[in-house]
Structure 1
Amino acid sequence: MKIKSRTLFPAAVFSALLALLVSPALAAIPADLHLTPVASGLTNPVALRSPEDGSGRLFVLERGGSIRIINSSGTLLGTPYYTRSVDTSDVERGLLGIAFDPNFASNGTLYIVYTGSGSNGEILRRLVASNPAANTFSGTDTEVMRIPLFYNHNGGDIHFGPDNYLYWGTGSGTGSFDPEDLAQNLWKKTFGNTTYYLMGKMLRLDVRNTTGSAAANMCGATPGQPASYSIPPGNPYAGTANTCAEIWMYGFRNPWRWSFDRANGDLWIGDVGEGNWEEVSYRPASGGSNRNYGYPQCEGNHFGRPSGSGSNCPASYGSVAPVIEYSHVDLRCSIAGGYRYRGPIGPLNGHYIFGDSCSSQIFIGAQAGGPTFTVFPSGIAPGYGTVSAFGEGQNGDLYVVDHQNGRIWRFDSSESDFIFENGFD
């Protein structure tokens, strides 16, 4: 099946971007905007990160359990940086997330999230490299915490926020429209022999400081025992009994890929849909009192469970509405959250760029006198699990991760410069 030619088309299927967002001045997308191949030969890549250490390296996660390095010359190194055994029994399981400590260049610390075998759950580990500049890992490797899992909808993306705390997006993991209501549950629920918690959430953890005696509501730790993390000041449920202290936001189905805006700290989340709608959720750095993003009662602006009519579910239910949604047309079926562009292509600055893992389309959004969205045909053939993620280089270069074909691509244009057009610097 062929995709559209490399022309920009209006994306009428998107909803309006909320007026509260800081919006760039509308700039024409460069006519020669294209994807440059950077690396190939990877096996099911799912994430890309820069260590922000001045080395120019890019670290790529392979779902099967390896971390690979693309060096500053653009060469994919043959020897993995790190490898471990992970559970890949479902296409949504495996090595899922990576985040570098903001001081990685000096302390060698990074974190990974993966699914363990059997009932081991989704696990957060701390790696401390003895030599941060080395291209193969040697050092300490310890577990920080774990959460239980269902077989899919695992989330697993992790990032350090501008506050230097680690954020971890988890999936609700259950059946159609979360019949157990785990995404809305702020405490623990037991089914059969397993107690579930912290699912369908955005967690906020202080992984730089340990806890001598865990509080009763630290759901990822054993009460009264030491924990390898602590609860940051300002977590909304830190002092609330029978409510998990790690929770920052809730009501997500599968926040597979998400990011912080490096210019202002805003949080953008691609939440994979259930029935017919994919959505982008948003939380400004300035915060807000409502932390409920609606699933399973809402899917985008539409009713999920229980069913209802119309497209006003968030207003009816009292949850945060998405800032962008799109329906399952034109082979679309699974959102891959991206980044608000802050790289060297000046006209793209401030646009939120994301994609769909089935149609292989890339979406570019901007606002000026009303929201405008365009579809950028990537040139990647449609197929389940293609455009699976995006990543940023240290200078803001934006990369596309093609899971199915084992490739990494970079956005390029002859209009590359470092002139920001909307006041950010």
Structure 2
Amino acid sequence: MRLALPFAVLVAALTACSATPTADTTPASPPPSPAAPSLAVSPTSGASVNAGQGLQGKLRFTQIARLDKPVALAVRAGDEALYIAEQGGRLHAVKGGATTQIIDLSAEVSKGNEQGLLGVAFHPSGRWLYLDWTDAEGDTHVTEWAFDGTKATGRRDVLTQEQPYANHNGGQLAFGPDGHLYIALGDGGSGGDPEGNGQDLGTWLGKILRIDPRGEPYKVPDDNPFAGRRGAEPEIWAYGLRNPWRFSFDRQTGDLWIGDVGQNAWEEVDHEPRGRGGNNYGWNAFEGDRPFDESVDIGKAVAPVITYPLGEGGNCSVIAGYVYRGTKIPGLRGHFLYGDFCAGWIRAAPADDPAKGVEVGKVEQLSSFGQDHDGELYALSLQGPVYRVDGP
């Protein structure tokens, strides 16, 4: 993810932010040679819906709060508050127009563009709170607190990951329909994945992990796809990712949707049917569905279900949202909402035909989406506003 720069500066720095790029910066790329790895299309699921007909440009975004660089939103079982993380290190509860500070890590987090407090999630029981953040050295922590709805106590690190560079930290946390904690980590940073982390099963970098955090310090589920495999980290759920800044689970189907930020040509969204772990999403052999480094031999990888060109129209970083399963916007049901940080557009795509997305609104410096207990959606802007997504 590319965050924290002023909007105009950020657009000008799209390629400069990735050191030593090795891919063509134009959208067009030659087709793979016969020896190049191939991409397998991941089928999507969900009820058939029209492609956003009647929605184009008609969603409203109602401001419900204003914070300092909000980047992540979560809800807690039995609790009406929205819990919102600020990149600068503070977690707030927003309820009934009031904002209450819950945790303050501002003296501990690193302050780089893609660093800070990046993710928040609650255990399904509501008893424990988890934050993903980078420390003064730039390393990632997933930290747990016991939480009673008012006070966070008993702080402990669940896991830590050394970061070789300051960018591509991932940061998303979410509990899946199986009750396990999923953790996004980027490829370690720089440009082009110089350490080859995306395809290396011996590191957490460039992966989504899956753990049970209620252990010493955590437990690895026995059915993780690489548990027991020699040379592979057992926590790994999915790999071949560059910077999976945001992902979400469809509350109806349990499917996983991953927004993976591109290098200098293509942004992508990946789709994973419920429970189908072990997928390779292609980085750094592929960027989007185009070859990036043909010297990387990976065999088959899972193709993205959405791609769009980086730089065109100001595009720079995909922001994955949610499949809408609420009730207040009937025309949006069954659609996956996603957007772009720099361009600011938000699109709705049928979950069973995600390439057919249409623009439904705009939020400047879109940093994240959120979902409440009823399946209603929210959009966060790095400029400060937190919006509720409303219908026409």
Q: Distance in 2 between matches of 1:63 and 1:368?
A: 33
| Equivalence map 1:124-203=2 (5 Å) | 124-129=142-147, 132-134=148-150, 137-149=151-163, 150-187=165-202, 197-203=203-209
- In 2 relative to 1, CA 243–57 (structure 1 residues): closer, same or farther, beyond 3 Å? same
Distance 1:394 1:29, change over 3 A: farther
- For 1:233, give the aligned amino acid: D
The alignment partner of 1:80 has SS state of strand
Distance in 1, Cα, partners of 2:84 & 2:71: 7
Shift in Å, 1:242: 2.2
Between structure 1 and structure 2, the one with the greater Rg is 1
Alignment partner of 1:410 is 2:392: no
Q: Does 1:271 align with 2:260?
A: yes
Equivalent position SS for 1:330: helix
TM score, norm. by length of structure 1: 0.77
**Per-residue deviation, 1:29:** 3.5
Corresponding residue of 1:109: 128
CA RMSD of aligned residues (A): 2.4
More RCO (CA 8 Å, sep 6+):
2
Quote the residue 1:58 is aligned against: 82
Corresponding residue to 2:285 among 285, 297, 309: 297
Find out whether 1:352 has 2:336 as its counterpart. Answer: yes
The separation in 1 between residues aligned to 2:319 and 2:60, in whole angstroms, is 19
Structure 1 distance, partners of 2:144, 2:43, is 39
C-alpha distance in 2 between matches for 1:368 and 1:144: 36
Amino acid at match of 2:103: Y
Q: 2: CA distance between counterparts of 1:361 and 1:164?
A: 32
Q: d(CA) in 1 for partners of 2:187 and 2:354?
A: 34
Residue 275 of structure 1 deviates from its aligned partner by 1.4
Q: Which consecutive residues of structure 1, in runs of 5 or more, have no partner in the other structure?
A: 3-12, 188-196, 211-226, 415-425
Residue identity over aligned pairs, in percent, reads 34
Change in 2 beyond 3 A, CA 1:392/1:370: closer
d(CA) in 1 for partners of 2:169 and 2:120? 15
The Cα shift of 1:299 comes to: 0.5
Selected match of 1:322 from 294, 298, 304: 304
Rounded to whole Å, the distance in 1 between the matches of 2:207 and 2:191 is: 17
Q: 1:410 Cα shift?
A: 1.1
> In structure 2, what is the Cα distance between the partners aligned to 1:45 and 1:318?
37
Structure 2 residue identity aligned to 1:142: R
Count of matched residue pairs: 349
Counterpart of 1:284 (choices 267, 270, 273) is: 273
Query: 2:42, 2:302 within 8 Å by CA — same for their partners in 1?
Result: no
What CA distance in whole angstroms lies between the structure 2 residues aligned with 1:369 and 1:47? 27
Question: Structure 1 residue 116: deviation in Å?
Answer: 1.0
- 1:81 matched to 2:102? The reply is yes
Deviation of 1:20 after TM superposition, in Å, equals: 4.1
- Aligned residue for 2:301, secondary structure, equals coil
**Corresponding residue of 1:366:** 350
Task: Give 5+ residue unaligned stretches, structure 2.
Answer: 1-6, 9-27, 29-40
Counterpart position of 2:228 = 239
Shift of 1:176: 1.9
Scaled by the length of structure 2, the TM-score of the pair is 0.84
Give the equivalent residue in structure 1 for 2:33.
Answer: none
Partner secondary structure for residue 101 of structure 2: coil
Q: Deviations over 1:268-315 (max 9, x none)?
A: 000000011000011101526x5111001100110111379xxxx9xx
Change (3 A) 1:142 1:361: same
Q: Is the CA contact (8 Å cut-off) linking 2:83 and 2:94 kept in structure 1? A: yes
Q: Write the distance in 1 (CA, Å) between the matches of 2:162 and 2:154.
A: 24
